[in-house]
Amino acid sequence: MSKKIWLFDTTLRDGEQVPGAKLNLYEKLEVAHQLKKLQVDIIEAGFPASSEGDFNAVKQIAQKVGNTDDLMITALARAVKGDIDAVYESVKYAESPMIHMVLGTSDIHVEKKFSKSKDQILQIGIDAVKYAKTLMPQIQYSTEDASRSDFEYLWKTIEAVMKAGATMINVPDTVGYAVPEEFGAMIAKLNDRMKNLDDSVLLSVHCHNDLGMATANTLAAIKNGADKVECTINGIGERAGNAALEEVVMALSTRHNYFDAYTRVNKKEIMNTSRIVSSLMGIDVQVNKAITGDNAFAHSSGIHQDGLLKSRDAYEIVSPTEVGLDDMELVLTARSGRHAVKNALENLSIGHLTEEHFEEIFADFLKLADAKKEVYDHDLFILVENYFNKQ
Ligand code: KIV
Ligand code: ZN
């Protein structure tokens, strides 16, 4: 039976901490309302201990967007009482709130960042979960830098925090170090052990894109048993970013037979969400970005345009309408063939030409396309008009 994958969106926490991406309260609320429309399962609304402004934004999102029990609102805490209290005090207004806490498990974090022993860090984690559990039932524990951690220590931590009451275990590839096969194998092993201990606890992953593999690692985790994934819109996030929500969702949907898994995301809202986040954050989407880039559904080679006009599936695996766009775009350039130019003229209702006229206009088109990078609709009108004026 097809498996539901929980979608946790961290655009407002991991995404918003990016240089230049700061949002004010009203912009955060707008993004949160749009994420609700997109139908993600969990919104991470911020890091309330970091500032009064962030605390207030998380609180307002919990009150105004989290007023339904099918959308969980969470926020981040370090494994310290002050942070946990700040999350509790801000997310408690949601119908379905959760405390998310993070503590490193790699030797680098334990020894160099915290200057503590592994046993000390383990105890801090257990105590923090036990304390958070006195405040609310839903607790996510993130083992920061999990992919560079000693596996048996990572497991010892997960086992202990599960016993202390964590309801979701998040395994981050914090610095984007993982590769899909290795990460997938690690998730399979953790999934096995976790399901033996308590199969109600969700196994989650959080992948960064430092080596360009965040989406691939996230999908490898799903293939190997992950129940939940953490993503951001447009892949925005610390350094090279996080796994892009739209890529993970559309990979699961397009390759459904391979993954046998689905999300409840409303795909028609993907493009809208991408544009809202990009414009409010003032960060452009890379033009060739999968799914949400300007060129993701634009075809320019003559061979491809001819193939598409004969059968869309020749060069299209995702329909632009699925993600909320009107249609594909056939860009007219010097590489476009007769088929694409004829199609464009017909769409403009100026396509009723004899073969002889069309051939001459097509020759004019090629000259113009060689001189200009792209030929637009208004250029075609002028081409046709000039041609008949010369007759
Ligand atoms: O990258 C990371 O490890 C994080 C954690 C807080 C989940 O963002
Ligand atoms: Zn992160």
Q: Taking 90 as the threshold, does the pLDDT of residue 1 lie above it?
A: no
- pLDDT 10s digits, 106-117: 999 999 999 999
Residue 10 beta carbon below 6 angstroms from any ligand 1 atom: no
Chain centroid to Cα 47, Å, comes to 19
Q: Which ligand is nearest to the CA of 74?
A: 1
pLDDT of residue 304: 96
Pairing of strands 228-231, 261-262: unpaired
- pLDDT 10s digits, 122-132: 999 999 999 99
- pLDDT 10s digits, 67-107: 999 999 999 999 999 999 999 999 999 999 999 999 999 99
Residue 103 beta carbon below 6 angstroms from any ligand 1 atom: no
Q: Taking 90 as the threshold, does the pLDDT of residue 351 lie above it?
A: no
The CA 142 to ligand 1 mean position distance, Å, reads 7
Distance, CA of 234 to CA of 286 (rounded, Å): 9
pLDDT of residue 325: 96
Q: Give the tokens for residue 8.
A: 């946790």
Looking at residues 3-32, what average pLDDT do you find?
96
Q: Give the tokens for residue 145.
A: 């830098």
The phi, psi pair for 365, rounded to 5°, reads: -60, -45
Q: Give the tokens for residue 183.
A: 């990460």
Q: Taking 90 as the threshold, does the pLDDT of residue 176 lie above it?
A: yes
Chain centroid to Cα 8, Å, comes to 9
Where does residue 231 fall: left (phi above 0), alpha (psi -120 to 50 degrees), or beta otherwise?
A: beta
Q: Which helix (DSSP H) or strand (DSSP E) does residue 168 occupy?
A: strand 168-173
Of ligand 1's listed atoms, the one at least distance from the Cα of 10 is: 8
Distance, CA of 381 to CA of 332 (rounded, Å): 14
pTM (predicted TM-score)? 0.95
Residue 176 beta carbon below 6 angstroms from any ligand 1 atom: no
Of ligand 1's listed atoms, the one at least distance from the Cα of 142 is: 7
Residue nearest to atom 4 of ligand 1 (CA): 174
Residue 165 beta carbon below 6 angstroms from any ligand 1 atom: no
Q: What is the mean pLDDT of the chain?
A: 97
Residue nearest to atom 2 of ligand 1 (CA): 174
Looking at residues 315-342, what average pLDDT do you find?
96
Q: Which ligand is nearest to the CA of 237?
A: 2
Residue 368 and residue 332 in contact, taking contact as beta carbons nearer than 8 Å: no
Distance, CA of 186 to CA of 209 (rounded, Å): 18
The CA 218 to ligand 1 mean position distance, Å, reads 14
Q: Which ligand is nearest to the CA of 144?
A: 1
- pLDDT 10s digits, 205-262: 999 999 999 999 999 999 999 999 999 999 999 999 999 999 999 999 999 999 999 9
Q: Which ligand is nearest to the CA of 101?
A: 1
Of ligand 1's listed atoms, the one at least distance from the Cα of 102 is: 6
- pLDDT 10s digits, 359-371: 999 999 999 999 9
Of ligand 1's listed atoms, the one at least distance from the Cα of 230 is: 7
- pLDDT 10s digits, 34-68: 999 999 999 999 999 999 999 999 999 999 999 99
Whether the CA torsion 20, 176, 263, 97 is positive or negative: it is negative
The CA 70 to ligand 2 mean position distance, Å, reads 24
Q: Taking 90 as the threshold, does the pLDDT of residue 390 lie above it?
A: no
pLDDT of residue 391: 80
- pLDDT 10s digits, 132-155: 999 999 999 999 999 999 999 999
Looking at residues 325-340, what average pLDDT do you find?
95
pLDDT band at 20 (very low <50, low <70, confident <90, very high): confident
Looking at residues 260-288, what average pLDDT do you find?
97
Q: Give the tokens for residue 304.
A: 């491809």
